[in-house]
Structure 1
Amino acid sequence: MSFHAQNQAKLSSWKFIEMWVDPSSDLPYVLMLVGDVDGSYTLYDPTEGYQVVYAARDYEKVKDFLLEDEYVQVRGRYQDNAEARKSEPVIV
């Protein structure tokens, strides 16, 4: 079953997406952090079929998890809001 099929309900309730990268390897490794409107934060691994790597209800805990493993945030945040849903989500 695809990521989309498994997570269809969650896909409509995200608030923002951040990309985090581990630049220490020859091929940088990327994780996707999704902040949900319910206040949860989930890290997904796009290379493993969007498998959940880590989840918490506190953004700082997720950020600490990433920083502990020396991940660096890719500049910008893909953010959804009511106005953006009428057209396109924005990168801030």
Structure 2
Amino acid sequence: MAAGQDIHLVMDNGSSHTSTKSRAWLAAHPRFNVHHTPKHASWLNQVEIFFSTLTRRILRRGQFASQEELAEKIDEFVLAYDQTDAKPYRWTYDGTPLKAT
């Protein structure tokens, strides 16, 4: 990655991501752009499920002659997944505190 390129981080609101030290480090390194998931969200789980599917179907046993071929295979997978497997995900949270069971 070129030194001038921005890096986007998607993180939950865990205390390790929002601590004073973490915020200070990120402020000192402006190329890192943090995007927090909503509190009480399972959005990040959906992303993890997608990458797990990508890994199982394409990456785990894949052999790629170049980075370009790998990128092409991932692009092909994403387009096919969008057409055949992707389902809308509707997340809601009404603000009621979650209870441990």
The alignment's TM-score, normalised by the length of structure 2, stands at: 0.28
Q: Whose Rg is larger?
A: 2
Between Structure 1 and Structure 2, the one with more strand by share is 1
Between Structure 1 and Structure 2, the one with more helix by share is 2
The alignment's TM-score, normalised by the length of structure 1, stands at: 0.30
